[in-house]
Amino acid sequence: MKKNPSFYLSFVTLLISVSSLQSETLWKNLNDNNGVYSKIDDKNPFSGEVSGTASGKLIYGKKTGAWKFFDDDGNLRYIENYLEGVEHGFFKSFYTNGHVFSSGYFSNGLEDEVWTFYHPNGQVREKIVYAKGKENGLWQFYYENGNLMSEGTYILGLEEGIFRTFYSNGKLSSLERFKNGRKEGLWESYDENGRILEEINYKDDKKEGIWKYFASDGSIQTIETYRNGILVK
């Protein structure tokens, strides 16, 4: 029967990998050379299991698979996954009390998909969608009581469209408009009773047109006029 040389090559590679992972060392005994780790007394990249304030597996000096990181008091601070030394896969970080602080996903070292952040009481604090390390989609920020504080949309890291902010009681606080990450159009702000406070305008990130400020009874208190960011009236 004809032997398959690729089979033998894979088998030998596996044996080498298994053999190299028989070693163990402490995290404090490693040097970091641009993401490639070696023992302090050995210049060769280390392969094996690592324990201590960081625990995981190194293959030829590069982090591989799931890693856990601890503070000096032994509290787990975060868990992340690596592929040949690059963050890739599920990520989770923690408060010192053990509650989750954030969770998300890396793809080839860049934030990807939905990331969620939490208040110390466990309530969701923030949600944001990423694509290749940039905000790209719906962004939401919450009060500790669970009510929405702010929301808007990003496209490749830039604000786009209407951003809304709310008071903790759920009442609308402001409407802000963006185009390609720059302030654009009418912005409005309100008090907690829903009364208008300001109507201001932007064009290409500069103050433009009529700006109105209102008194508590709804009457116009002040009017200003801007052209290309300069007050003209």
Fold of 24-118: 2.20.110
pLDDT, tens digit, for every residue of 129-141? 999 999 999 999 9
Residue 180, pLDDT > 80, answer: yes
- Rounded CA gap, 122 and 55, in Å? 26
Confirm whether pTM is higher than 0.85: no
One fold for both 24-118 and 148-233? yes
- Rounded CA gap, 157 and 58, in Å? 33
- Rounded CA gap, 151 and 138, in Å? 7
Q: Which residue matches tokens 């490693």? A: 30
pLDDT, tens digit, for every residue of 22-44? 589 999 999 999 999 999 989 89
Q: What is each CA distance from 12 to 18, 48, 164, in whole angstroms?
A: 10, 18, 59
Neighbouring residues of 100: CB distance < 8 A, sequence distance ≥ 6: 92, 93, 94, 118, 122
The dotted CATH code for 148-233 is 2.20.110
- Rounded CA gap, 150 and 44, in Å? 51
In this structure, what token pair is assigned to residue 185? Answer: 């159009």
